[in-house]
Structure 1
Amino acid sequence: MHPVRIWDLPTRVFHWLLALSVFGLIVTGTLGGSWMNWHMRLGYAVLALLLFRLVWGLIGGHWSRFASFLYGPGALMRYLRGQSPADHSAGHSPLGALSVFALLFILLAQVGTGLISDDEIATFGPLVRFVSGETVAAATGYHKEVGKLLILGLVVLHIAAIVVYRLVKRQALTRAMLTGDKQLPAPVPASRDTLGTRLLALSVLLASGAVVWWLVRLGQVTY
């Protein structure tokens, strides 16, 4: 077996921060009331994390880049038949890749609609004033009903996949996301995970946070 650095530190930190933030969003959104202030803050945090991941998917470690887990229908079918090459078990598998892209897309839709949602009580998104009332109503309906259910469904599927891999395939997916390394039967390219790449990731995260701060401030500026 060959120990290989698969997940660089920035990807691991992103993963756990996103998981905690999404959990917090579900809890605060369900509680409502004064918890909605924290719900909005966590939404801003998730948006910053997603912007970071989009950039890191282009310049991050080898297995964190989108190019490493862009699969066609043929690759997915071979994986489902158990005929995938060994390197498909290193990073995201074809099925796992679908889950990642679906989660990123649905979370972006959820925080995007949150920016222009209004519960008509005391909480509204910072960009509400830039869109029509019909758009606000549609965004609010999606955010509170459809988007929430989609996220809950994906979270359940994600947890179920972890359990299946642990019990059936004897693979501890969470361990690799904690340590960054996997024990693989054949050597594969390792992800670069140096002080330089970590500082680069920090600068990308700070820039992503600055973009979110600008968006929020944009909705608060009066003319």
Structure 2
Amino acid sequence: MDAGPHASPARRVQVWDLAVRLFHWLTVLLVAIAYISQRMNWLQLHVRAGETLLALVLFRLLWGCFGSETARFARFVATPAAAWRHLRHLARREPDVQVGHNAAGGWMVLLLLALLLVETLSGLYDYNDIADEGPLSEVVPAAVANAIAAIHAYGWDALAAAVVLHVCAIAVYALVKRHNLLGPMVTGAKRLPATVHAPRRASFWLAALLMAAAALVTTLLAAYL
């Protein structure tokens, strides 16, 4: 009888590329900077952090379409039913044989990216409206401008709640299932059964090209929103 993948000898597999790891930790840093600068009323720093975050989010969206295998949305976005089945077994202790995001984690990634995108875009317009810099500031009705400002304010609360949920999920996986989700996001590697194939990785130059494109789009949005 086949013993299954759990009985295979473990080996070190590179599951997260450098682009995904840099995006993750730079996002953590910039969200912290955005929070502190907002609390301290350091508007210029807050805006720069938001613009850089927007560029990173746009890059991650592109990388989710053209990047490494574990970074691609088509690879890790499961159906809601699959995510629910995964969560039903959250308390079950079992070996970690997941190459990339699990079925529930994929939806968390989408949620965080969506909230970051809404927050950075609304913040970009909100700042230009206050500073009277963007061309749209003169033509957008006051009611719409106020609605965008409200979205930016409440969007931050939603983002903070999602971040707390994300951190709690990492802790639950560590304590209940004994799965180390944090370590591989630092080193890029995790120990998996020898029968598990290493995911395909995209080139560094493609990542650099997509990051340049994201930075260009962010610059144009900052100038014209």
Which residue does 2:55 correspond to in 1? 48
Range with bigger deviation, 210-219 or 150-159? 210-219
Which residue does 1:26 correspond to in 2? 35
Determine if the alignment matches structure 1 residue 78 to structure 2 residue 81. Answer: no
Report deviation, 1:188: 2.9
Which residue does 2:4 correspond to in 1? none
Q: How many residues align?
A: 213
Range with bigger deviation, 110-119 or 19-28? 110-119
**Corresponding residue to 1:151 among 130, 154, 159:** 159
Residues 1-223 of structure 1: matches in 2 within 5 Å? 1-32=10-41, 35-82=42-89, 89-117=98-126, 123=131, 126=134, 127-144=136-153, 146-185=154-193, 187-193=195-201, 197-218=203-224
**Which segments of structure 1 move beyond 6 Å, counting only runs of 4 or more?**
83-88
Please tell me whether the aligned partners of residues 117 and 136 of structure 1 are also in contact (alpha carbons under 8 angstroms): yes
AA of the residue aligned to 1:204: L
What CA deviation, in whole Å up to 9, does each residue of 1:99-130 have, x standing for no partner?
1101111111111111221598x656745335
CA RMSD of aligned residues (A): 2.5
Segments of structure 1 that go 5 or more residues without pairing to the other structure are none
Distance verdict in 2 for CA 1:187–1:28, change over 3 Å:
farther
Distance verdict in 2 for CA 1:45–1:2, change over 3 Å:
same
With the length of structure 1 as denominator, give the TM-score of the two structures. Answer: 0.86
**Matched residues in 1 for 2:36 and 2:131: separation?**
16
With the length of structure 2 as denominator, give the TM-score of the two structures. Answer: 0.85
Please tell me whether the aligned partners of residues 69 and 201 of structure 2 are also in contact (alpha carbons under 8 angstroms): no
Report deviation, 1:51: 0.6
Segments of structure 2 that go 5 or more residues without pairing to the other structure are 1-9
Report deviation, 1:167: 1.6
